[in-house]
Structure 1
């Protein structure tokens, strides 16, 4: 997990997502955003160490991880994975279900230019969704979900 080996398995309700009144919610697309904290040891000169195997790095990596201060944070496995050609796209009027996961540390997704219309911060779809959140809290080791309908064209940054 401290080397980026985590993922999300989220089971949607058999009868679909519901709003706070039990009415069906629909979506056009689903995007998964995996937030990965990496803990890479450095040598005495401040350079990142390299190892032949994950087992060889175990002791040093465990030491770095104890402080829960990552050396790198990446989304969907690598630097720039969700920018440029990898950017997530939607058209005006499309409703997108964003699933955001994190392995080790708490996170607070924020969609610049929009709000989470319906939000399940801990992925508990049996619970009523929270409404119109600018930022939502996802505890470490959890995946949350948010629905947003894009209202106008432009670039929306998810930070």
Structure 2
């Protein structure tokens, strides 16, 4: 029998769109959970050197004044990579990175999405855009088995920074394993000019071993409902975006930066904080048409939401981006760094005033 979205849904025990969107009590029955775990443990994904998204890999701000059609391709890729040295994990990603690609459009644009589920995958996947005004955010329309391709067209009718994520019945597992990202819908008037833009995503991973225990970690379907993660990560790897790991983005003192931040979850709310800095202007929930909050030290960002915030860098040194639930930083890996370079400013910060 040829594989269709309908047969995929039937094969994984989904009764309809409500189940697909995670709204049905039986959307992830225990038999399907066991089937998912078995498939994950048996599959032979390609091994990749890096899954951590480059926080500087963001499309340029939009300068045009008219809407257009924008082509976007997403590929759900199941890959094996390192969470930290010596610890491997089977990630589920969009286009091989965590978080998925930063998608940038303008209000009024039409997005032509191609969703390609590679043959080498073991599982069905899809995508739910919170920027889509339509059933399931496009989840049912993009539901694909390995080897299938789906197409979706939607108009970006409201501005803001929105999460997109996988929305199959075991969506909590798929999101935890890395399937989430941001789509930015710029307002028609555009965004204020800044010197830099950065992109970070937080999620938690549940495994069958302790953090730091060497070897391959399987996904733990037992610890996830208890919300007891092994790792809490920024951009998919423990301390991934730091000088001693993948490197940190650098700025010059006096520069301004805009940070786009998404909490994939699936369960934990982030208390997003820049150590040694504040969010100069902050748009909660990614709502870009509201007046920003100013000089915010810590902002809660719930799973399935975003925030957009700006930073200034008056003195040189590291601004450490963390979840201020600090055990997640010290024990579970939730830290990234932006490094400012430039002349010292002892009138603002003097670490040794007696010399």
Instruction: Give me the whole-angstrom Cα distance separating, in 2, the residues matched to 1:143 and 1:50.
Output: 29
Instruction: Give me the whole-angstrom Cα distance separating, in 2, the residues matched to 1:14 and 1:92.
Output: 31
Offset at residue 107 of structure 1 (A):
0.5
* Superposition TM-score, scaled by structure 1 size: 0.79
Partner of 1:8: 182
Contact 1:92 1:150 in 2 (8 A): yes
Offset at residue 133 of structure 1 (A):
0.4
* Superposition TM-score, scaled by structure 2 size: 0.37
Equivalent residue pairs, number: 142
The structure having more radius of gyration, on CA atoms, is: 2
Contact 2:231 2:238 in 1 (8 A): no
Q: CA RMSD in A?
A: 2.3
**Runs of 5+ unmatched residues, structure 2:** 1-174, 323-355
Instruction: Give me the whole-angstrom Cα distance separating, in 2, the residues matched to 1:82 and 1:47.
Output: 21
Contact 2:203 2:232 in 1 (8 A): yes
Q: Which has the higher strand share?
A: 2
Partner of 2:247: 86
Offset at residue 5 of structure 1 (A):
2.1
Q: Is 1:33 matched up with 2:197?
A: no
Aligned partner of residue 226 in structure 2, secondary structure: coil
Q: Is 1:64 matched up with 2:227?
A: no
Instruction: Give me the whole-angstrom Cα distance separating, in 2, the residues matched to 1:137 and 1:87.
Output: 24
Partner of 1:20: none
**Runs of 5+ unmatched residues, structure 1:** 18-24, 52-56
Instruction: Give me the whole-angstrom Cα distance separating, in 1, the residues matched to 2:206 and 2:300.
Output: 23
Segments of 4+ moved more than 3 angstroms: 46-51
Partner of 1:21: none
